[in-house]
Structure 1
């Protein structure tokens, strides 16, 4: 039996639309490109605040109450050039790093227990309800009794200031992880720390970074406040003691220089370190805008 040949489809020409030149988008004006730069907008805000500070100081016309921005900047540069402010900042940052690191480790231990067992969840909720509302600086008298005049007391209050907000944010981030990701981790046989660091931590990273930034801010301001008390007690300390000492000697420009350095360190940590971490993690992964 002879097979029939398949039908041949007729050929035809499809007329193409006429070519139309596409207009090339012109480069944006320089002013519009500059406005789109986030760092430049923030710099303009800082310059406006500095101008308002200078105007208020000149209107007040009393350097003992409010030194001008230029006088404060001069005192800051002199303190940095002499090395005194550099040494004070170094002492503060060393203690801050110790307390912050210990607080982060303890927070992750607590949250790991909380996502693993019911007892861990009860422990975390109970401890945070007890200690999170308690100001860290209020524990400094007890820390002085327990650890004496030294860095141990400062590290203790720093751990308290970092531990609870970071633990709460991390646990909230873990609770917000979708059930699909949780099931995927279980299907791969992930348990314990492998499950936490392989599934929960990457998915909850925005909340964890938020907790890290909140903990950093709490720790930094707690350290400066604690050093003010430490300075009165032992004559030692970092930037807080520098501020306290110059306040006693009525060097108001140096007091404001110390405060300005505290602000500058906070801006550097927030806009360089944490911003870089966010850029290479959650922004790169599309988890934040």
Structure 2
């Protein structure tokens, strides 16, 4: 979303907020609460660049507070944009690098998203709680075991531990999407021969069994896969439609989205996890929804 494309009233509101010393985080938070979608963060960044705060304004990193903004009836479902020249992104203690970007489908690989100790802590927190991974039956809506997905997994509620809360806040800052739109953090383990054959992360609305999962939080719009371990052999994340393979690298994160601002699903996002041939593979997955996802399901 570009600043120049916004309504004049909203452009003026942003300029006034910046002139008044509001921080980037405060401005973005106010817009998200007013109904705008994460892509608005890109416009805010452009506004700060072209209309920087006056020298005598309070620090844009320190100023807090709240603001009132015009509401938006039809928000876009987009994320912050990245390109090969983005360089390092400061996310607190982590200095994240953009390794590559692809526009169609929208894919970004980040290096150094998690520290080694964070990866190891997530693995140890999860090891004794793994159960066989299931998939949604698109015809009946039931979660069931299938030979196409042979990993084991567990999950953590939003903010369940300080570490989980910190990682979720980091995801929100990186992608420009509020953490309230995230499903529980999934930890997945792939031993030798385990795989997840090519599939889509979104739910096809034409399938009757998907109506129940779509009713809670709306459509999935993006996925962040965080690699918690290196893999001795195999275990790549593959996108067969575009011939892309991403080998797990401990601490790296792979993001991809699959729905346009107009709600069109991107079938180029077909992806899978190839079989582990030697060693083991650990990942953490965060699936993001178009609307708020409840912390506790009924």
- Band the TM-score falls in, shorter-chain normalisation: under 0.3
Q: TM-score, normalised by structure 2?
A: 0.25
Q: TM-score, normalised by structure 1?
A: 0.26
Q: Which structure has the larger Rg over C-alpha atoms?
A: 1
- Structure with the higher strand share, 1 or 2: 2
